[in-house]
Amino acid sequence: MLRHGIVTSIIIGVLWAMVVATTVAVVFSFTTGDSARPALVGCLVFGLIAGLVTLFVSGRLLVFSILLVLAFVSMYLGLSPVQLAQNASHGQIIATGLLLGLAMAFPLEYMLRQVTPVALTRHIFEESVIRFLLGFGYVFFTAIVLVPFYVMVMTSLKSQQVLLKNPLDFSIDFSRGTAVFNSYIELFSQFNFGQYLWNSFYISVLTVFITLLFSVPGAYAVARLNFRGRAAFSRSILLIYMVPLIVLALPIYIVFSITGLRNTIPGLILIYPVTTIPVALYMLQGYFRGLPEEVEEAGLMDGLTRLKVIWQITLPLALPAIVSVSLYIFMIAWNEFLLAFMLLDDPSKFTLTRGVSMLNTSEIPRQHLMAGSVIATIPIMALFLGLERFMTRGLTAGSVKG
């Protein structure tokens, strides 16, 4: 029964109509701020017809045009899957109809490609269900990832009054000119964010260098050299890796308070590498193990010392891995919040994350907080997008740590 072509088409049509209607309504609300809501009855009717049309009519473009006409008709009849406000403009109605028609026709055609109006084989039935789930999955995951970042960026460009009046209105008022970027301008001019950006940057870079300085020789020793206690050491790296930072932060806070290292940037630079060395050690030893041993042995045979072998053979070979590790460590240091929050009090020494957390009070408007978040996110995103290959490798190798 369920596996009959007509039933399958109708069910998938209706379910997909619901997905599309919700998506279109959310997109519409988030871009214009005007009211839009998915309507159940509209979804049922439209989905049913769309499923049947896709099933019986052949030709992609023909299906698309029929559904488009249907979408417009239903919009004006008020029986559409997406209900707009009474005073919606013609432009809005046409755009919504177009979006509905597009988002229904092509994916539905793909989902129901093998379905015929007879009893289906299990294979074809499951294939179309999977295709529906795929479509749903892409929409769902893209939405949950994009919406927060969209809200973050758009909120930073609004003013408090507009935001409180209609929290959904994310349209940007370009007539304000450069005033759109007021939050950013204020953060840099009044809240010292230029300094924080620089602090975060050089602390992170120094952390990367110090970490590599310690972990490259250490990782090499664990990966290549024979010594008593090697296995035990290898395991204790993993164990240390699992000690939660908050447990360490407490004694570190006490010691730093007593020795006067608290509230200083050198104190922070002292402590950051220690949190990253175990990660780097763990990642690098894996990489070093993967390098061919024969090349190093050839070097040894030719009379190079061990240290020279490391410097002239192993390191150049492991360079891509070292780049991955460096990026990953940079990310950890850049994103670090807990230690900076506990150890820094003086606003002139803040890192970016500490600076952003300072903005989280009721006296400072929300858009400043969001602008600060954008400033903290953009560099790491740029790095990530530019060097995605290395980043992803670094993540898979070391990001068992969260």
Contacts to other proteins from residues 301-320, by CB under 8 A: 306-307
Say how far apart CA 116 and CA 260 lie, in whole Å: 77
Q: Could you say which of 69, 254, 295, 298 contacts other proteins (CB under 8 A)?
A: 254
Q: Could you say which of 65, 106, 127, 181 contacts other proteins (CB under 8 A)?
A: 127
Q: Could you say which of 281, 284, 318, 321 contacts other proteins (CB under 8 A)?
A: 281
Q: Could you say which of 2, 86, 228, 303 contacts other proteins (CB under 8 A)?
A: 228
**Least distance from other proteins to the Cβ atom of residue 102, Å:** 17
**Least distance from other proteins to the Cβ atom of residue 251, Å:** 4
Contact set for other proteins, span 149-188 (CB under 8 A): 149, 151-152, 155, 163-164, 166-168, 170
Instruction: Calculate ∠ Cα 325-256-269, nearest 5°.
Output: 25
> Which region, judged by CB under 8 A, interacts with other proteins, from 8-16, 41-49, 65-73, 123-131?
123-131
The residue among 109 and 296 lying less far from other proteins, judged by its C-beta, is 296
Residue 171 DSSP class: -
Give φ, ψ of 117 to 5 degrees: -75, 45
Strand partners, 4: 119
The residue among 66 and 208 lying less far from other proteins, judged by its C-beta, is 208
**Closest to 341 in 3D by CA, of 330, 352, 327:** 352
**Least distance from other proteins to the Cβ atom of residue 57, Å:** 26
> Which region, judged by CB under 8 A, interacts with other proteins, from 59-67, 104-112, 181-189, 292-300?
292-300
Q: Could you say which of 30, 46, 64, 132 contacts other proteins (CB under 8 A)?
A: 30
**Closest to 224 in 3D by CA, of 284, 157, 135:** 284
Contact set for other proteins, span 233-252 (CB under 8 A): 233, 235, 238-240, 242-248, 250-252
Contact set for other proteins, span 194-223 (CB under 8 A): 213-215, 217-218, 220-222
Q: How many residues bind other proteins (CB under 8 A)?
A: 110
Q: Could you say which of 178, 226, 361, 362 contacts other proteins (CB under 8 A)?
A: 226
Contact set for other proteins, span 361-390 (CB under 8 A): 366, 369-370, 372-374, 376-377, 380-381, 384-385, 388
**Least distance from other proteins to the Cβ atom of residue 269, Å:** 12
Contact set for other proteins, span 50-89 (CB under 8 A): none
> Which region, judged by CB under 8 A, interacts with other proteins, from 1-9, 44-52, 66-74, 300-308?
300-308
Instruction: Calculate ∠ Cα 131-135-140, nearest 5°.
Output: 140
- What b-and-e string marks burial along 77-108, b requiring 16 or more CB atoms within 10 Å of the CB? eeebbbbbeeebeeebbebbbebbbbbbbebb
Residue 323 binding other proteins, by CB under 8 A: no
DSSP letters for 190-228? HS-HHHHHHHHHHHHHHHHHHHHHHHHHHHHHHHH---T
**44, 13 in Cβ contact below 8 A?**
no
The residue among 4 and 230 lying less far from other proteins, judged by its C-beta, is 230
Q: Could you say which of 69, 300, 319, 382 contacts other proteins (CB under 8 A)?
A: 300
DSSP letters for 27-83? HHHHHH-S-EEE-HHHHHHHHHHHHHHHHH---HHHHHHHHHHHHHHHHHHT--SEE
**Least distance from other proteins to the Cβ atom of residue 69, Å:** 27
The residue among 177 and 244 lying less far from other proteins, judged by its C-beta, is 244
Q: CB pairs under 8 A, 24+ apart, for 15-18?
A: 15/47, 15/132, 15/136, 16/47, 16/50, 16/104, 16/107, 16/108, 16/111, 16/132, 16/135, 16/136, 17/43, 17/44, 17/46, 17/47, 17/50, 17/81, 17/104, 18/43, 18/47, 18/81
